[in-house]
A = this chain, B = another copy of it.
Amino acid sequence: MKKSKREKLKAAGWAVGSVQEFLGLSESDAALIEMKLSLSRSLRDRRQRHGVSQVELAKRLRSSQSRIAKMEAGDPSVSMDLLVSSLLVLGASAADLAKAIRGGEGGKSRHAAA
């Protein structure tokens, strides 16, 4: 898929949502990126709701704090596998994942459950 474009996106600072428009990004490339961003938002939400620090999550994942940070920052260098693994480790179900992929759960609901 040519990673260079994703790098450019990151560099450009871009507003979240509807990524595509600004460079010749194919329909499906854009969709994939938005999915990953949605997952990364879900990850931060879920981690915080569970009161887990990045360091703690890194331990559970046998990864490192810096990689968790990159995940949550939507860094292009993180794979979908890692994002999904992280959510699973935080107890997300397949249904939760499905919702996250759709873009659901992105914003903080005002009166969220624990």
Contact = CB atoms under 8 A, between A and B. Distances in A.
A88 interface: yes
A62 B85 CA distance: 27
B101 A97 contact: yes
Interface string A3-46: 00000000000000000000000011101100100000000000
Interface stretch (A48-56, A67-75, A76-84): A76-84
A59 interface: no
Interface of A: 1, 27-29, 31-32, 35, 62, 79-81, 84-85, 88-89, 94-95, 97-99, 101-103
Given A1-B62, A97-B101, 7 more contacts: A27-B88, A29-B85, A79-B79, A79-B81, A94-B101, A98-B102, A101-B101
